[in-house]
Amino acid sequence: MKTKGGIGEQSGTKLRLWASCMLKSLTMAIMALFSLPAIAQDDTAVASDTLIFKGQLISWANINPANGLPVYVGGRYLPQLNYNLNLPQSRLFDVEASANLFGNAGFHPFDTSATDGDIRPYRLWARYSAPQFEFRLGLQKINFGSASLLRPLMWFDQIDPRDPIQFTDGVWGALGRYYFLNNANIWLWGLYGNNNPRGWEFAKTSRRQPEFGGRFQFPIPRGEAGFSFHRRRADTRGLDSAMPAFAEAPETRFGLDVKFDLVVGCWAEASWVKNEKKLEAFTNQELVNAGLDYTFGIGNGLYAVFEQLVVSYDEEAFAFSNTATLSLLSLSYPIGLFDRLGAIVYIDWTNGKVYNFINWTKQFDRTALYVMGYWNPKETQIPTQNSTQNLYSGLGIQLLFLFNH
């Protein structure tokens, strides 16, 4: 029997590193708190604080005869600690710390097995907020845009539309947001220490190189619009032997999104990624999404989402000479108070393939059971942002149980 992976001795080292990062981040947060300017207040104003511990336990089993390891079982625990300090004049200082403890095992009966597991920080941030401003520092989730499922602006997360938990790792950095009185808002961020590819990225970020960017979101008649910008240095070494390799390839991203609330909800979202180095077809990347959603008055209400995505990789910007087109239809229908049926269908027009996914959910206050079935091509060519193993290829079924405390 062959075995690979495992939590092993590295878990202790990673746990110590995580604890060290936690201590450093909390220290910086406390220093930031004491460096804030004094707040004018009367003698009767008193700050109040709360400390909350909660967590989420997830277990799953996947049966897929098409995989080399047809049976996969695993679990994940996300313990979370929140500290809130309510300050006078509607100001707040809060801290969130959570970990990702997971393990899984794959089996080919009587022949082969593989195990994997780890302990990682999941969220670790401190935030100071006022009525029109907030500043957050640490390991956090950053996402934005108008698209629902096939998101060109998936710059900093890896959410798979088929994942009922919507699990994604965070990024290390600082984020500031200011909210204007007319509902417009401006974001500024700086990231550091995030090396692995995220979202639609094909290359890692150069080590010890900071990233920075921003976003301006503003109201428009019957909706809202946003413009986003990001700058990083990509590391293209070790990708394709035929592609030029650079330890630092400066990359600039621009994003534009708009959403309208009309008879139906409709939106458009686009991203352009420009690299200053000549990376042949990967010098430019364009993603364009258009979608709509509507709740039909059928029974308890059938909610439908449709999105169309075009992805292009070109040596020259906006040439659209090497494109892929993907359509997605998502349906959701509630059955009573606790049950819901859902389905997602992908159509890969470029490669002539169809991906099918169905989900039945039974949810209570603290627990939920998901029964998921899928029928997909063996060779998957759609983004699977949230899985190190391609569990959703071929024909299979997955059971997932969730418990919140």
pLDDT digits (tens, 9 = 90+) for 27-66: 454 454 444 444 344 444 678 999 999 999 999 999 998 7
What are the percentages of helix, strand and coil residues in the chain, rounded to 5?
A: 5, 55, 40
DSSP state of 222: T
How far CA 256 is from CA of 61, 119, 223, 275, 325, in Å, comes to 39, 37, 14, 18, 19
Check residue 110 and give its pLDDT.
82
Domain range holding 53? 1-35+46-131
CA distance 288 to 326: 11
Mean pLDDT of the chain: 88
Average pLDDT value for residue range 360-365: 94
Check residue 383 and give its pLDDT.
59
Residue 8 clears pLDDT 60, i.e. is over it: no
Q: 293-301: which pairs have CB atoms within 8 A and are 24 or more residues apart?
A: 293/148, 293/264, 293/265, 294/264, 294/265, 298/333, 299/333, 300/333, 300/334, 300/335, 301/333, 301/334
Domain annotation covers residue 338 = no
How far CA 325 is from CA of 145, 167, 198, 283, 377, in Å, comes to 20, 26, 21, 19, 17
Check residue 66 and give its pLDDT.
79
Into how many domains does the chain fold? 1
Domain annotation covers residue 70 = yes
pLDDT band at 299 (very low <50, low <70, confident <90, very high): very high
Tokens at residue 282, please?
Answer: 């990967």
How many C-beta atoms lie closer than 10 Å to residue 301's C-beta? 11
How many C-beta atoms lie closer than 10 Å to residue 138's C-beta? 26
Domain annotation covers residue 287 = no
How many C-beta atoms lie closer than 10 Å to residue 49's C-beta? 11
Burial 357-366 (b: 16+ CB within 10 A, else e): bbbebeeeee
Check residue 68 and give its pLDDT.
83
Check residue 368 and give its pLDDT.
97
Domain annotation covers residue 104 = yes
How far CA 185 is from CA of 69, 133, 138, 181, in Å, comes to 48, 9, 21, 9
Residue 105 clears pLDDT 60, i.e. is over it: yes
Check residue 33 and give its pLDDT.
45
CA atoms within 13 A on the CB side of 226: 25
CA distance 137 to 335: 41
Domain annotation covers residue 20 = yes
25-29, 73-77, 350-354: least confident range:
25-29
13-17, 127-131, 289-293: least confident range:
13-17
